[in-house]
Structure 1
Amino acid sequence: MSTTRSGPLRALAALLLAALLALGVAACGSDDNKASAERADGSPDKITIAYQAIPNGDLVVKNQRWLEAAFPDTEIEWKLFDSGGSVNEAVVANSVDIGLAGSSPVARGLSTPIEYQVPWIHDVIGRAEALVVKDEIESIADLRGKKIATPLASTSHYSLLAALDEAGLSERDVEVIDAEPDDIYAAWSRGDIDGAYVWNPNLAKIVGDGGRVLVTSEELSSRGKTTYDLAVVTNDFAAEHPDAVTRWVAQQDRAVRLIRSDPGAAARAIAAELNIEPAEAAAQVRDLIFLDASEQVGAEYLGGGVARNLLATAEFNQRLGQIPEVQDEATYTDGVTTQFAEAAGK
């Protein structure tokens, strides 16, 4: 009997195996076709983006899910970071592809050097970052011996050092406390610090609580210490997926155009991301300067000015002992590209 039953069982097993193999071949064929399609249009399987709570076009893109629409077959992961220094660490750890960091952390990153490049300017920082202090402090000279908080290695830290330098003070003359923006506001609320160099929305909160603005990044910019919020993309990602970077830049350009053409709609999107009122978001947006793709590719910005700024920032940081060395000029020139903004602006 066992011999009589084994024939049908082997036949059934053979049929099942044939069916599974057929399914496997079909599935492999489907995956190969999908992979080819993704390679053809430059779309990676996943894009991981480091963003910050800064009232600029990046939050518009995130809120409106424009990247998800532009990359329908790609997983888009947004990771929130508190400062550009943390973004640099994430890039080194290979945990993000594209990120937002201020010009000072980018200058530090290129000086390391971190293998990334700047394809886009999120904003030129104006009044959106400032040195704000207790009301009884009337000048930068009065900061001697005071506790001033700022995120180390950020554009705010750079601007604080520049302001102190102008007044003939150094970092040793004040007690500089390293803290992230939300923690800075909490410390201010408790009365633990005398002031801070920080950006919106926490800057606006401190001013609303009675803080006195001593100097803004806009004022420092007029004296040669311009700061930016920059996009960075890893060299590997840019080389492997240039079309994807161009499409990412195109969505950022779209956000700048929305900020200009319909500031109310842009403010509502940003307010939703920052959990603030649209009117407050609109006021914070006005403290930044935005450039579209056609403006960014010019000699003043991605076409040369940003690279010169990053080199000068690195040299300033080295002079003050913030970084050990400055790379050759080509490192900063090669670290800024017009390629993607030119393509996106066509």
Structure 2
Amino acid sequence: MKVLRKLSLLLTAAMITTALAGCGGAQKSSNSDSQEKVSNINISYVKSPLNVPSIIEKRKNLFQDEFSKDNIKVTFPEITEGSKMTEAVASGSLDFCNAIGATSVILGAANGVDIKIIGMYSRAPKAFTIMAKDPNIKSIEDLKGKKVVGPKGTILHQLLLGALKNKNMKAEDVQFINMGIPQGVSALMSGSADAALVAGASVPQAVAKGAHIITTGEGILDATIVIAARKDFLDKHMDIAKRYMNVHNKSIQLMKDNPEETYKLTSEETQISVDQVKEMYNWYDFSPKITDKDIKELEKTQDFLMENGMLKKKVDIKSLIQDISK
């Protein structure tokens, strides 16, 4: 009896252990499946300064058409500030930054955000300007002691400091006030600012109101905008990231094949005339390929951030780049 009772207890324990092991394996399998399955992709949407590929991708439903076949929903949160984008990446609520300034990516990475550059979005030095309304302000030298408004820590801010440096001037030679582009243009038009840092569609709009361009970014910077993604998303879903870039390349091809429709859709989305879109469109290089020149420009951007006290520790620029085209 004692022997039988002992065998019964051993068999019961073995069955319980097997059952628990089976439950554990099923849970692990379930977790693994849930990690691989993607139900939603969040892609930032920024249409300004003149982000034509994003406009075409959204208006032509390119991402939806690609991912709906797998029942993946695509959402486009309109996050227009680079710092807000990197915050969203850090929190896991944004998967792809479909047009983000290199300054924001470098600053985010330096502050611990696990983010990777997976392609170039645009280079458009002519689209970034310093503008004035007073006809007596014609050059950078004329800005000495004047009030200049614009967004701090951005490509436009980098343009201002680069332009000053080219004329052997310092940041302290102007009164710089941190301000968004629309607010800056309003301050310029009202006379409460002497110059404003203006980009994209706001440039022709300001010209129409009587402002003029002192300088563009030509010869000063490339105005590098990149495509970035969450590293943990890339690690888990490289196949989706590659499909994402394929869709982006498709939008660029559509732009080339259908210029008139591209101008029309962009005009409708940005509320500027087709003629203005055509003029500005020629300022942009939308090639997504990351070149050696782009890497040097990213390093130059990092130097700008360091020199102006916005970055305390450098990051390895090449380690920020993850080429998913291979």
Q: 1:234 Cα shift?
A: 0.9
Q: Deviations over 1:27-66 (max 9, x none)?
A: xxxxx99x96994xxx621111222222221121112111
Aligned counterpart for 1:46 among listed residues 22, 40, 44: 40
Q: Deviations over 1:70-123 (max 9, x none)?
A: 110122121223332332333234331111211222232333342111112111
1:147 aligns with 2:117: no
- Between the aligned partners of 1:178 and 1:110, the Cα distance in structure 2 is 23
- Between the aligned partners of 1:113 and 1:285, the Cα distance in structure 2 is 35
1:332 aligns with 2:317: yes
2:214 maps to what in 1? 214
1:3 maps to what in 2? none
1:319 maps to what in 2? 307
- Between the aligned partners of 2:285 and 2:54, the Cα distance in structure 1 is 14
Alignment of 1:176-325 (within 5 A): 176-220=176-220, 225-291=221-287, 296=289, 301=291, 304-325=292-313
Q: 1:69 Cα shift?
A: 0.8
2:132 corresponds to which letter in structure 1? V
- Between the aligned partners of 1:38 and 1:321, the Cα distance in structure 2 is 40
- Between the aligned partners of 1:136 and 1:52, the Cα distance in structure 2 is 35
1:288 corresponds to which letter in structure 2? Y
1:75 maps to what in 2? 73
Distance 1:245 1:275, change over 3 A: same
Worse-superposed segment, 187-196 or 57-66: 187-196
Q: Secondary structure at the match of 1:290?
A: coil
State the TM-score, normalizing by the size of structure 1.
0.77
1:61 maps to what in 2? 57
1:106 aligns with 2:105: yes
1:89 aligns with 2:108: no
2:244 corresponds to which letter in structure 1? W
The answer (yes or no) to whether the contact 2:148–2:195 under 8 Å persists in 1 is: yes
2:295 corresponds to which letter in structure 1? A
Aligned residue pairs total: 291
Q: Secondary structure at the match of 1:288?
A: coil
Q: 1:238 Cα shift?
A: 1.1
Q: 1:263 Cα shift?
A: 1.7
- Between the aligned partners of 1:319 and 1:337, the Cα distance in structure 2 is 26
- Between the aligned partners of 1:50 and 1:235, the Cα distance in structure 2 is 16
Q: 1:281 Cα shift?
A: 2.1
Q: 1:320 Cα shift?
A: 2.3
1:315 corresponds to which letter in structure 2? D
The answer (yes or no) to whether the contact 2:185–2:198 under 8 Å persists in 1 is: no
- Between the aligned partners of 1:91 and 1:187, the Cα distance in structure 2 is 33
The answer (yes or no) to whether the contact 2:101–2:224 under 8 Å persists in 1 is: yes
Gaps of 5+ in 1: 1-31
Distance 1:189 1:44, change over 3 A: farther
Q: 1:146 Cα shift?
A: 1.6
Q: Secondary structure at the match of 1:47?
A: strand
1:25 maps to what in 2? none
Distance 1:190 1:95, change over 3 A: farther
Q: Secondary structure at the match of 2:197?
A: strand
State the TM-score, normalizing by the size of structure 2.
0.81
1:29 maps to what in 2? none
Q: Secondary structure at the match of 1:172?
A: helix
Q: 1:269 Cα shift?
A: 2.0
Q: Secondary structure at the match of 1:127?
A: helix
Q: RMSD in angstroms over aligned alpha carbons? A: 2.4
- Between the aligned partners of 1:175 and 1:90, the Cα distance in structure 2 is 32
The answer (yes or no) to whether the contact 2:114–2:231 under 8 Å persists in 1 is: yes
The answer (yes or no) to whether the contact 2:184–2:197 under 8 Å persists in 1 is: no
- Between the aligned partners of 2:204 and 2:79, the Cα distance in structure 1 is 19
Aligned residues: percent identity?
Answer: 19
- Between the aligned partners of 1:101 and 1:170, the Cα distance in structure 2 is 27
The answer (yes or no) to whether the contact 1:104–1:158 under 8 Å persists in 2 is: no
